[in-house]
Amino acid sequence: MRVRSLIVHEALRRLGRAGLAAVLVGGLALAVALAGVLPQWQAVRELRANEADASAQVQRLARGELKVQAKPEQQALDDLRQQLPGQPQASELIERLYHLASAERISLARGEYALGVDPKTQLARYQIVLPVRGSYPQIRGFLKALLGQLPTLVLEDLELQRKRIGDRELTGRVRMTLYLSRS
């Protein structure tokens, strides 16, 4: 063991300070190359491989061998649009709403109607505010039939009140939104 350390010590003496500094700088450069440059070089190789795969897919798409798949959210929204009644059917659906009210013997006064477009889904949104008058069981039956027969209708708000405690008749306001396809 003593002989090996003497050999190393003698080799370092022959190199001198300048040689020793050169060896240390070379070792440091090798460590930097291994720690910093090598991972970046591998990342560049992976990016080039991804680019080659992407260009191959673009070529297959251009030739018609590959079809673009819609995002699951977009596909679900497209399916929903196909199932919704169209915007021209809005008057028929409103007519059905009044028919259900008359079946429950509920008086619906003149309501407010506003047609708009939902900015996120681009669906037609028909907002309806109707004053209602009837007994609690009648109003409840009307709302149950309404939601059962018009599945694209969303009940947003219901306000009910009595003039006196003993009254059987309630007055109130129903706010709902009817979603329609714009096609």
Same domain? For 1 and 62 the reply is yes
Domain count of the fold of the chain: 2
Same domain? For 103 and 24 the reply is no
Among candidate residues 35, 68, 101, the one where a domain is terminated: 68
pTM of the complete model = 0.54
CA 21/CA 118 separation, integer angstroms: 71
Same domain? For 95 and 123 the reply is yes
Contacts by residues 144-153 (CB-CB < 8 Å, ≥ 24 positions apart): 145/100, 145/103, 145/104, 146/97, 146/100, 146/176, 149/96, 149/100, 150/93, 150/96, 150/97, 150/178, 152/84, 152/85, 152/178, 152/179, 152/180, 153/93, 153/97, 153/177, 153/178, 153/179
Same domain? For 103 and 169 the reply is yes
The enclosing domain of 133 has a CATH number of 3.30.70.60
3-class SS of residue 164: coil
* pLDDT in 10s for each residue of the chain, 183 residues: 576 777 877 777 777 888 878 888 888 888 888 888 888 888 899 999 999 988 888 888 888 877 766 566 666 666 666 676 776 777 788 888 888 888 888 877 788 888 888 777 777 888 989 898 888 898 889 889 888 888 888 889 999 998 888 888 888 899 998 888 776
What range does the domain containing 82 cover? 73-181
Same domain? For 44 and 105 the reply is no
CA 100/CA 169 separation, integer angstroms: 18
Same domain? For 80 and 170 the reply is yes
